[in-house]
Structure formats: structure tokens, C-alpha cells
Structure 1
Amino acid sequence: MSYFIFDIIRWGSYYEDYWYSFKSNLVTFSLGMLLVYFNIYFLFPKFILKKKYKKYILFFLLTLCVFYVVRTELIYLLINKNVWPESDSLQSAYSFNHIVVVFLTGIYDVALVTTIKLTADWIYERKRVEDLQKVQLRTELDFLKAQIQPHFFFNTLNNLYALTLEKSEAAPSVVLKLSDIMQYVLYDAKEPLISLFKEINYIQSYLDLERLRYGDNVISRTDVVGNIEGTKVPPLIFLPFVENCFKHGAKNNDNLEVNISFENVLDKWLIFKVENTFNQLNDSDLKHGIGNQNVNRRLELLFPNNFDFKTTIEENNYCIQLKIPIYEN
């Protein structure tokens, strides 16, 4: 409509006859619309998208011929005997010059609108692909998170089973701690981001469970460096590394020492470190298991090319350092 009104004003001013311009544009514009939409919704998908370029050119030229004949006859019969009033001299219908001008007009309209349509389609398709990628990313993250939870509960129930076999008085405390952790996993861990304080409390509850199992054989310390108030982190991202301390360290040592630290670096990065004692002679399975593989994949999805993960072995200590961007409020 904007283009139609613009053409009426433009040619009305040129001819100093707005009524004539309205009638002329009503014919030429309507036919131009038919030509454009016929190309966009029939010729283009039928031939161009199927890479039948020769057939497209043939049918497009035939369409231009029909467009020219209908346009010329309607102008001649309904509007003006002079089918090309813009020319400096009187022009007859079906002359070479007139055919070239009308063909170029049709091609111009088709090229302009097809470009707009393809651009709009490209923007829509790009957004659709981005939305699909987000859905796929969320689905994969949810799947990976779901893997972590059974993995953790499996280990904890094994611990509880060992305590019940020993008829340990610590078993009821384990059940209570496990209940608290289940509440965290079933509710808080469903969110994409949670408070770092909650994650640390969750880890502390896990450490309490392990201390109930191993007693004085476990020594653990958790340090927080810098201000972490308002810091958000993906849930269940640190726990697998803490679990591995007990999975690979406790079974090889009478005494297990676990040191955990969280450090805020310039309010931009969060550095997580965990270090535990272990026996290097029995470390063949350190690279296996759901935990490390799972977290590595989650890190790649959450922080593509924007995280740093390192493992080192120093004497009888196994060290992990993870650096991720900080999420503020």
C-alpha cells in the first residue's frame, strides 16, 4: 500500500493528473503484484529451489510475455490509447522499445520483492534454527543433569547400605542428610542457575554424609575467597569432582584429606579448586566414570570456549582447577 500510494503521488505529480495516475497504477500495480507473487510462491519454489534453472528462465519469460500482453491491453482499453505516456514521442503497443521497458519494469518489481522476501525468510529461518539449537542445548543439558543425579544417589545409597550392614548409629543421620540433598536435587537443581551459596551448602551436606561414613579418616576444608554474594552458577557442576575424591581417594588411603576452595577473581571469574590425597598406583580409573565426562560435556555446552579446566598430580595429591565466568544478579 505504501508503494502504491507513493507511485500515485509520483506519477500524479508528473502528469499533473492524480486521477489518471490512480487508474494507471491500479492496473499496473495489481498486475505487478500478481507477477511478483506468482514468481515467489510458484516459480521460485517449483524451479529455483529444485535447481531447475533453465525451466525457471523459460517459464519466467513466458510469464513476462503474458504480463506484458494483459497489461498493455488493459491500459489501452480502460485508461489511455497511449500505452506509454512517459515517452517523449507517441509509442505504439508491441513496439520493441515498449516491450523492453515493460519487461524491465516487471523484472525490477520481481527482483525487489523477491529480495525482500528472501531476506525476511532468511531472518526467520536463522531465528528458527537458533531456537532449535537452544531447545537442543537445553534438552542435552537436562539429560546430562539427570545423569548426575542418579549417579550421586547411587553412590550415597551404597554408603547407606554399608552403614546398615555395620548397624551403624550414623545411618539415621545419613537418611536425614540424604533427604535434604534430595530436596535440593528435585527442586533447586531444576533451575538453570542457582546461588553459589546453595551449591556450597549442598557440597557441605555431601561432605557430612561422607564423614558419617568414614568418621575420623576424612579431613575436609572448604575456603571461600572474595565476595560471592549474588553469584550464580549452574547446579551440580562441582559435586562430581568432590565425589571423585572419595571414589578414588578413600578406597586407596586409610586417611583422606580433601581441600576445596572457591575464589572470586575481579567479579569476572570463579575459580573452583579441589585437591585430595590418593594412591598413584591405583589411579587407572580416574579418567573413567560418568562424573568427569558428564561435567566436561556440560561445560562445553554452557561455556563454549570460555572456561578452563586443568588436572594435575603432585606427589600423592590429585588436583582439579575449574575456571568459569561469574553470573551476577
Structure 2
Amino acid sequence: MERVKKIFVLVHLVLWTLFSLLVALQLSDEGDHRLSLTTGFILTCLLVFYGNFSLLINFSGKKKNRAYYLRLLAIMLLGPLPFVIFHPKGLETLQDSYEYYMMTLITVVPAFTFLGWLARITENLVLNTIRKEQLEKQAVEAELHYLKSQINPHFLFNTLNNIHTLVYKQAPAAPEAVLRLSSLMRYMIYESNSATVPLSREMNYLQDYVSLQQLRYKKSPVVDLEVVGDTTTWYIAPLLFIHLLENAYKHSTARLEPGDIKLTIEVKENTLTFRILNPIGNSAGKTLEEPGGIGLPNVRKRLALLYPEKHSLEIENLGELFIVTLKIYGLHTQAHEREAELLYN
């Protein structure tokens, strides 16, 4: 906001400088009187313009009352005085003073009173628009922060219990499990605070999550994870896929066989396709869309806020299989994200 106000000040300085030069050029034929005429005329314009401009600041958002109109009348009546005083013949006789005063009052004063009002209205419009955008952005950020905070805490408790069992049994997998949990928590708490993160980092987060969930199963990996395309160039909103992956575990059959959950992430040009398939348990079909759930509703809300009209979410219930296909169009690169941030600020 302060930057915009400084820009307005600079615009005022530039325009008044150019206007003063133009007036001086127009009065170049006045010889020795050019400086005094130019000074008087510019001072009159400044007095009327900024008198009304400042008056509108004090009465901004208020109903224009008697005090406003009395002050505006005083500004308009005093406006011609600088021109009359600095005019070489302005004070020679009372008749000359009156004529120059009335000429300025009728021609110059109304014009610059209107310009002062127009400038104040324009600045108010721009500043109010920026304030509204900032408030909307803050509201969106607050809602996104709330949605991101809804990661299922039961996963953390279950993982810690599994790691405790591994440590108790002195299993070789215990140190690796601790490292993966540390990486996952660091990403959730610190790295995901950015508006966007490298897609490759989001993929690592999902892989850590899958590895920790695998502690519950003694068989080969129950998740068949396939990544197609380049994930190092593109950036994406963090923690966007975790609820879909959580749902796949939560609503699958009690006993998962190796490769039962199939997760495919494909990046083609600047479009990302996230597709996850899982077998449905006996009671899963009734709970996938339950009002109290936060998985799919959470994803829908975040997508609507982050990628309006740039995504598609398809959900298929085939009886024994549940398929979710998410497409995001127009992924950002790091350079593009930095440029957008600079333009906004």
C-alpha cells in the first residue's frame, strides 16, 4: 500500500512539473513578466487543486455537510489571489484587481476544483481496490492454512507406535523409519508454508508417507507408485494430494495385497495428472462422502481456491474399485512464480 502511495506522489510531481513547463512556454511572449505570471498562475492552480484534494481526504467516507461546503467555498474564493498578487498589473488599480480576480475565479478555479476532485476519487478507487484484494488474499490464505492443518493426526500416532515396536524389537528398519518421519514432519511444518513447492519435493513427501504406512504391512509394498515425466522443473501447491492418498488407505479392504493401491503421477508439458486406484472395503462405500469427512471436501476447497478453472477432479466408484483422477493445468515454474510475486508486491 505504501508503495502505491509513493507512486501517486511521483505521478503528481511529474505532472505538475510538466504542466509548469507548459505554462511557462505558453507565457514566453510576456518577456520580463513571464516568471511572475507563471508563478502566480501555478500557485493558484495548486491552491485550488490541493485545497479541494485535502478537503476530500478529511471528509472521505462522510456525508458532505455544511462545514465541507463552507471550506470548499473559501478555497475557491481564495484561489485567484496568488494570480492577482503576482500579476504585474494585478494590484495597480482596484478595477484591474477585480477583473483579474473574476477572470480567474470563473475560468481556472472551477477547472482545478474538478481536477482535484477527480484525482481524489481516482486514488480512492485504486487504494480501495488494492485493500479489497489484500483482504481477499488474507481470507484465502487463512482458509488454506486451516485446510492444510487438517492432516490426519492419527497417522502420526500410528506411525510412532509402529516405530516404537521396531525399536523395541531392534529391527534394522527402525532408524530409516525415524528419518522418514523426520523428513515428513519437517516438510509439513516448515517447507509447506510456501505458496508453491517443487513437484519433486511433493513426490518425496508422498513416498515418505507410503514408506511409513508400509510399516503396518509385512508383505511387499501395497502401493504401486509410478511417476512419469519431469518433476524437477514444475512447482505446485503443497499438501494437495495427501488426503487422496489417506483416503485410499482408509477406505481400502482390511488386508491389502502387494500393489493393491495403484498411484500414478504423470507430468506432460505443464499439465499434471494424479490418478489413484484402491479396492473398496465392505463399509467404505458409505463413508467416502460422509459429511464429517475432511478428505475429498478438503481437496475440493483447496483446488477451488488455488486452481480455479484450471483443474478437473473425477471420482469413480466401480463397486469393488474406487478411482480418483485429478488434473491440474498450467503448472508454474520457479521463475514464473517469482515474477508473479514481484508483480503482486
> Which band: TM-score by shorter chain?
0.7 to 0.9
1:238-317 counterparts in 2 under 5 A?
Answer: 238-249=241-252, 252-255=253-256, 257-265=260-268, 267-279=269-281, 281-287=283-289, 288-317=292-321
Q: Is the 8 A contact 2:311 2:328 kept in 1?
A: yes
Q: Which has the larger radius of gyration?
A: 1
1:218/1:286 Cα in 2 relative to 1: closer, same or farther (>3 Å)? farther
1:5/1:79 Cα in 2 relative to 1: closer, same or farther (>3 Å)? farther
Distance 2:270 2:306 in 1: 16
State the SS of the aligned residue for 1:64: helix
- Say whether 1:65 aligns with 2:107: no
- 1:226-277 C-alpha deviation (Å, 9 max, x unpaired): 333412222211111111111121xx43235211011123x12101011111
Distance 2:170 2:261 in 1: 24
1:119/1:23 Cα in 2 relative to 1: closer, same or farther (>3 Å)? same
Identity %: 24
1:289/1:4 Cα in 2 relative to 1: closer, same or farther (>3 Å)? same
**Structure 1 equivalent of residue 332 of structure 2:** 327
**Structure 1 equivalent of residue 19 of structure 2:** 3
> Shift of the alpha carbon at 1:318?
1.0
- 1:135-159 C-alpha deviation (Å, 9 max, x unpaired): 44344433432332xx2x4323224
Q: Is the 8 A contact 2:91 2:97 kept in 1?
A: no
Give 1:25's aligned amino acid. Answer: T
State the SS of the aligned residue for 1:273: strand
- Say whether 1:212 aligns with 2:228: no
1:244/1:253 Cα in 2 relative to 1: closer, same or farther (>3 Å)? same
**Structure 1, unaligned runs of 5 or more:** 84-90
> Shift of the alpha carbon at 1:48?
6.6
Give 2:79's aligned amino acid. Answer: F
Alignment size in residue pairs: 310
**Structure 2 equivalent of residue 154 of structure 1:** 154
Distance 2:115 2:35 in 1: 22
- TM-score w.r.t. the length of structure 2 is 0.75
The 10-residue stretch of structure 1 (306-315 or 175-184) with the greater mean CA deviation from structure 2: 175-184
- Say whether 1:178 aligns with 2:174: no
> Shift of the alpha carbon at 1:278?
0.9
Distance 2:38 2:326 in 1: 68
State the SS of the aligned residue for 1:215: coil
> Shift of the alpha carbon at 1:280?
5.2
State the SS of the aligned residue for 1:272: strand
**Structure 2 equivalent of residue 88 of structure 1:** none
**Structure 1 equivalent of residue 47 of structure 2:** 34
1:185/1:66 Cα in 2 relative to 1: closer, same or farther (>3 Å)? closer
1:4/1:165 Cα in 2 relative to 1: closer, same or farther (>3 Å)? closer
State the SS of the aligned residue for 2:316: strand
Residue 22 (structure 1) aligned to one of 27, 31, 35: 35
Distance 2:184 2:275 in 1: 22
Residue 126 (structure 2) aligned to one of 99, 102, 123: 123
> Shift of the alpha carbon at 1:168?
6.4
State the SS of the aligned residue for 1:65: helix
- TM-score w.r.t. the length of structure 1 is 0.78
Give 2:33's aligned amino acid. Answer: Y
Q: Is the 8 A contact 2:36 2:88 kept in 1?
A: no
1:227/1:2 Cα in 2 relative to 1: closer, same or farther (>3 Å)? closer
Distance 1:264 1:169 in 2: 40
The 10-residue stretch of structure 1 (169-178 or 109-118) with the greater mean CA deviation from structure 2: 169-178
Q: Is the 8 A contact 2:44 2:83 kept in 1?
A: no
State the SS of the aligned residue for 1:283: helix
**Structure 2, unaligned runs of 5 or more:** 1-16, 335-345
> Shift of the alpha carbon at 1:176?
4.2
Distance 1:164 1:71 in 2: 86
1:239/1:7 Cα in 2 relative to 1: closer, same or farther (>3 Å)? same
Q: CA RMSD in A?
A: 3.4
The 10-residue stretch of structure 1 (218-227 or 167-176) with the greater mean CA deviation from structure 2: 167-176
1:237/1:72 Cα in 2 relative to 1: closer, same or farther (>3 Å)? closer
- 1:273-326 C-alpha deviation (Å, 9 max, x unpaired): 111111354433222433333332222221122211121101211111111132
1:213/1:174 Cα in 2 relative to 1: closer, same or farther (>3 Å)? farther
Distance 1:66 1:12 in 2: 27
Q: Is the 8 A contact 1:11 1:21 kept in 2?
A: yes
Q: Is the 8 A contact 1:224 1:262 kept in 2?
A: yes
> Shift of the alpha carbon at 1:218?
6.2
